[in-house]
Amino acid sequence: MFREGDINGDGFIVEKGELELTRHHDNVIERTALLGEVEVVGVWKILFNNETRYFTATATKETTVIVIPESHLSLLLSQADPFLIHCFQKWLDVSRSYMADSSSGS
């Protein structure tokens, strides 16, 4: 689907099948999640306002997805209620901290 470091920020909803999320850490490929039907994947790049993707997503069996273009995700985020954006940003800050701690082996 996409690779860690890719610049494309399209999101996906898994209609059928299964996606494995992995990332590189200390020269080892770590499995971070296994996603199934109705799960959303690929939106972290937009949500974290990052230049590249954090994970690699690979289909582990025949998989069908609905593509949500990056431009549409950006538009939705720009039109969201400021209070909800604030709350969501706080959640993202906690998620970023957790990811940094887990990457450093703490």
pLDDT for position 38? 95
CA distance 88 to 101: 20
The three-state secondary structure class of 96 is helix
Give domain limits for the chain.
11-103
Q: What is the pLDDT of residue 25?
A: 85
CATH of 11-103, one of 2.60.120.10, 3.30.200.20, 2.20.25.90, 3.40.50.150: 2.60.120.10
User: 64: which 2 tokens?
Assistant: 């069908």
Averaged pLDDT, groups of 10, the chain, 106 residues long: 93 96 91 94 82 92 96 91 85 74 58
Place of tokens 């969201």: 80
Output the pTM of the full model: 0.77
Q: Give pLDDT, residue 17.
A: 97
pLDDT given at position 3 = 95
